[in-house]
Every structure is written in structure tokens, then in C-alpha cells.
Amino acid sequence: MSAAPILIGGGGIGGLALGLMLHQRGIPCIVAESAPEVKQLGVGINTLPHAIAELEQLGLLPALDAVGIRTRELRYLDRFGSRIWTEARGLHAGHSMPQFSIHRGRLHGVLWHAAAERLGSALRTGLRLTGHSQQGDRVLAEFADGTRIEGAALIGADGIHSVLRQALHPEDGGIRWNGIQMWRGAIDWPAYEGGDTMIVAGDMKEKLVLYPIGEGGTPGTRLTNWVVCAQIGDPAKPPRRREDWSRPGRLEDVLPHVHRFRVPWLDVEALVRATPEFWEYPMCDRDPLPFWTQGRVTLLGDAAHPMYPVGSNGASQAILDARKLADALAAMPVQQALAEYESVRLPATREVVLTNRRGGPERVVDVVSERAPDGFERLEDVIAVEELAAIARGYAQMAGFAR
Ligand SMILES: Cc1cc2nc3c(=O)[nH]c(=O)nc-3n(C[C@H](O)[C@H](O)[C@H](O)COP(=O)(O)OP(=O)(O)OC[C@H]3O[C@@H](n4cnc5c(N)ncnc54)[C@H](O)[C@@H]3O)c2cc1C
């Protein structure tokens, strides 16, 4: 009789990474994704070298190179375009792997394609997890269409609105919004500063993020991702509309915030105006949980630890979760493996969630904006370089990608 499979609820970045890693170790699994078909959803996302190292182990580096950009440099500016801090990224910072700036849908597509090829019929669509029960050495997963599947474990990789999280923690406080709205879009645009530079400008209350995420359709252009963030709401209240990655944004809402930014090499307003379709999304997370695991059931990725998208950690931490869990499942009995996984990954990701609430590495722009709201002539009059370095390096250390 073949071993019972590990059931993975959710075929997003984390669920697919786990499925591929288990398959590599010869552990049977079933990935059940609720979407009836896979579309290239989302806009830009960054994936850090330690997570890329795990995808390289799956043989995915050439596929990532075909659709993403190896990020060379990250520059922090104030809202007037003056430079605050510059740091090399990925290979350029001495890591053995690159950082990728990539379209989330294309990253998902790379994982999906590999999973479809390797897992075959064990990758299933149209299966929305609704419940589960545990008995003896088995878990029974239940789906909206009446399908029931038995497995050795159930992993909730079902994103920020996780059904499994809700089942394990019915008292959980739900989504927390910090009052910041994000508008996100991407469009082909003339390459700036080498075509592989990421920009973060402004401060936590009003911020601009720019980075190329792929080759453009014409020579000299890049598919350029932009994000505009603005404090528009009361952090004590829930967002006005349910957070949804696919909600269209409106030009009249975003333009007043765009006008505040100057970037030397790029006309930000023209970039935003030219983008035919973009999205709004509230910056939200959820409180860290006291536990993820109950017997043969656990959580992974955004289901376990949704975080603010600062510091490029959402996808990266989901991939690191997958690595730890796959390694543990290959090395020890299921329940022990789940407990081992949680003992390592829960405290690590808790720290990232809480640090991101304080601005993560982007605090370098916050601090300067607080001290010099009208700009500066000489940065050294505002902040010492050692203080900037301490913020940036402290974050890298905490999130596990320091060198
Ligand atoms: C449509 C979409 C667009 C996104 N766009 C961006 C973006 O532009 N930039 C960014 O930084 N982050 C984006 N994210 C979030 C980002 O992918 C995650 O923060 C990160 O990669 C962690 O991955 P995850 O696998 O834990 O969660 P996700 O990538 O969110 O994946 C969760 C998966 O579970 C599926 N699912 C949900 N409920 C169920 C259920 N009950 N049963 C079965 N399956 C279920 C979802 O359809 C999804 O495929 C997006 C997420 C989604 C779902």
C-alpha cells in the first residue's frame, strides 16, 4: 500500500514550493488549489537570495532568469529625489544567489509549470478547502464541491484569508490594517539606472517604490513595477473594502499622492498615468499566532504569518517555510516533523511580521523624513551613515539574509 499523501491546501507560492520540495524527496503529496484555472495575477514581488537558493535546488533558476530581473541595487531617496542610502543586492552584495524582482504571476507561473510537469494529477484546481477532521494517523480534508481526501497531514497554504487558520484559531483578531493604502501597477517603460535598480522614496506615510520586473516589449524598456503608498485611514479601523489582490485602483485616488514625489531619472506621474490598469490594496497583516500546528495539521506562508510588504519578505519567507517543512517531513515522523517545523519557523517569521510593522529596512527613509521633512542639502547633517547602516544591516540579520 502506498503512503498517505501530504495534503496541501492552496497552490500559491508557498504551497507549490512545498509540493515541489516534497516531490523531490519522493514524499507523495496533493496540492489542492481553489482557483478553477491559473491566471497571472498580481504585480511585482521581490524574492531574496536565501529563498532563490531553495528554488535553485529545484532547478528553477533558468526559468526565473527567463522572466525576472536580477536586482543589482536598492536605493533609498527622500521624496525630493535626494539619495539617502544605497546598497548592492543579490550577487552584487556577495550572495551566492541573485535577488529577483519579478511579476508575481510569472513567479507563480514558473512554480505552477514545474509542479504540473512533476506532480501531474497530484496538482488539482477547483478544490476549495472548507474543513478537516483528524482521526488516528489520518487527516480528512473537505472541499466545497463535496470532495474529501485523506492524507497523512494537512498543510494550510491558503493565503491571508486562510480557512485552516480560522479553524485552528477561531478567536484570531483577523486582518489588521495600518491605514495605508497601496496602489500597484506595472507598465513597459524606458529602463532607468542600468535597468536593475530598485527605488524606495518618501516615508512610511507616503511612499513610492519602483523596480523593473522583466524585459519590456521593445528594446531599451523594462516592465516597470510601481507602488504608491499613502496613509488614508485610521489604523484602529478595518479597511473600507475587503482586501483583494485584484481590486482595480482609480487615477483620481492615486494622483494626489504621486504629485509629492520627484525622481531624477523618471517622470512618476507620466508612468502612473500611462498604466492602463492598476490595483489598490490595503497594507495589512495579522497578529502573530501562538501556535500553527495541531496534531497533523499546520500552516505555511501567508496563512501562518501574513506581513506588510516591506523588505521583500512575503514570498521569500513562504519558500523558507516550505524548505524547513519538507526537510523535517523527510527526516522524521509526521507529527514530530510538524512540531519541529513550527519550533523553528514560528519565532523567525514572528520577528519579521513585527519588524515590518515598524517599517522594516525602509525605516531609513522614515527617520530622514522625520528629521528633514523639507529635504536636505547634506545628508550628514541629518543622520550619520553608521545609523543608516545599522537599520539596513539589522533587518537583513533578522530576516536571515545578512552576509
Ligand atoms: C491573486 C494574488 C495576487 C497577489 N499579488 C501580489 C503582488 O502583486 N505583490 C505581492 O507582494 N504579493 C502578492 N500576493 C501575495 C503573495 O503571493 C504572498 O504574500 C506570498 O507569496 C506568500 O505566498 P502564499 O503561498 O503563502 O500565499 P498566496 O500566494 O496568497 O497563495 C495562496 C493560495 O491559496 C489559494 N487558496 C485560498 N483559499 C483557499 C482554499 N480555501 N482552498 C484552497 N486554496 C485556497 C489561493 O487561490 C492562492 O493560490 C498575491 C497573492 C494572490 C493570491
Concatenating the DSSP letter of every residue in 336-369 gives HHHHHHHHHHHHHHHHHHHHHHTTGGGHHHHHHH
Check residues 333 and 3 and name the one with the higher pLDDT.
333
d(CA 262, CA 245) in angstroms, rounded, equals 27
| Angle value at C-alpha 391, between 389 and 393, nearest 5 degrees | 65
- Residue (of 306, 291, 76, 103) closest to 186 by Cα position: 103
- For the cut 90, the answer to whether the pLDDT of residue 392 exceeds it is no
Exposure string over 4-42, b if 16+ CB within 10 A, otherwise e: bbbbbbbbbbbbbbbbbbbbeeebebbbbbbeeebeeeb
Residue nearest atom 13 of ligand 1, based on CA coordinates: 42
Confidence (pLDDT) at 39:
83
C-alpha neighbours within 13 Å on the C-beta side of residue 356: 27
At position 61, the amino acid (one-letter code) is: L
Residue nearest atom 30 of ligand 1, based on CA coordinates: 159
pLDDT band, very low/low/confident/very high, at 3 (cuts 50, 70, 90):
confident
- For the cut 70, the answer to whether the pLDDT of residue 2 exceeds it is no
Confidence (pLDDT) at 398:
67
pLDDT band, very low/low/confident/very high, at 91 (cuts 50, 70, 90):
very high
Residue nearest atom 48 of ligand 1, based on CA coordinates: 12
Is the CB of residue 33 below 6 angstroms from any atom belonging to ligand 1? yes
Q: What is the pTM of this model?
A: 0.93
The strand pair at 6-9 and 123-124 is best described as unpaired
d(CA 243, CA 254) in angstroms, rounded, equals 17
Confidence (pLDDT) at 395:
65
Residue nearest atom 50 of ligand 1, based on CA coordinates: 42
- For the cut 90, the answer to whether the pLDDT of residue 244 exceeds it is no
pLDDT band, very low/low/confident/very high, at 366 (cuts 50, 70, 90):
confident
Count of Cβ atoms closer than 10 Å to residue 227 Cβ? 21
Q: Which atom of ligand 1 is nearest the CA belonging to 32?
A: 43
- For the cut 70, the answer to whether the pLDDT of residue 240 exceeds it is no
Confidence (pLDDT) at 313:
85
C-alpha neighbours within 13 Å on the C-beta side of residue 340: 16
Give per-residue pLDDT as tens, 160-211.
Answer: 999 999 999 999 988 888 888 999 999 999 999 999 999 999 887 789 999 9
CB 310 within 8 A of CB 365: no
pLDDT band, very low/low/confident/very high, at 358 (cuts 50, 70, 90):
confident
Confidence (pLDDT) at 364:
81
Q: Which atom of ligand 1 is nearest the CA belonging to 160?
A: 30
Mean per-residue pLDDT, 38-53:
91
Mean per-residue pLDDT, 270-288:
94
Mean pLDDT of the chain: 92
At position 252, the amino acid (one-letter code) is: E
Mean per-residue pLDDT, 324-352:
97
- For the cut 90, the answer to whether the pLDDT of residue 391 exceeds it is no
C-alpha grid cell, residue 283: 497594507
At position 352, the amino acid (one-letter code) is: V
Is the CB of residue 316 below 6 angstroms from any atom belonging to ligand 1? no
Confidence (pLDDT) at 187:
96
Confidence (pLDDT) at 243:
63
At position 262, the amino acid (one-letter code) is: R
pLDDT band, very low/low/confident/very high, at 317 (cuts 50, 70, 90):
very high
d(CA 221, CA 212) in angstroms, rounded, equals 9
- For the cut 70, the answer to whether the pLDDT of residue 351 exceeds it is yes
Is the CB of residue 159 below 6 angstroms from any atom belonging to ligand 1? yes
Give per-residue pLDDT as tens, 93-152.
Answer: 999 999 999 999 999 999 999 999 999 999 999 999 999 999 999 999 999 999 999 999
Mean per-residue pLDDT, 247-252:
92
- Residue (of 196, 391, 395) closest to 308 by Cα position: 395
C-alpha grid cell, residue 204: 512610511
DSSP assignments along 297-338, one per residue: EEE-GGGT----S-SS-HHHHHHHHHHHHHHHHHHS-HHHHH
Q: What percent of the chain has pLDDT over 90?
A: 75
Is the CB of residue 34 below 6 angstroms from any atom belonging to ligand 1? yes
DSSP label at 20?
H
Q: What percent of the chain has pLDDT over 70?
A: 95
d(CA 400, CA 51) in angstroms, rounded, equals 10
Check residues 402 and 379 and name the one with the higher pLDDT.
379
- For the cut 90, the answer to whether the pLDDT of residue 402 exceeds it is no
Is the CB of residue 310 below 6 angstroms from any atom belonging to ligand 1? no
**Domains of the chain, with CATH numbers?**
6-42+105-174+289-357 (3.50.50.60)
Mean per-residue pLDDT, 384-403:
76
CA-derived radius of gyration, the chain: 21
Is the CB of residue 43 below 6 angstroms from any atom belonging to ligand 1? yes
pLDDT band, very low/low/confident/very high, at 233 (cuts 50, 70, 90):
confident
Specify burial of residue 226 (Cβ count, 10 A radius: 0-12, 13-18, 19+).
buried
239 vs 204, 243, 285, CA distance in Å?
A: 18, 7, 12
Residue nearest atom 37 of ligand 1, based on CA coordinates: 158
Confidence (pLDDT) at 241:
66
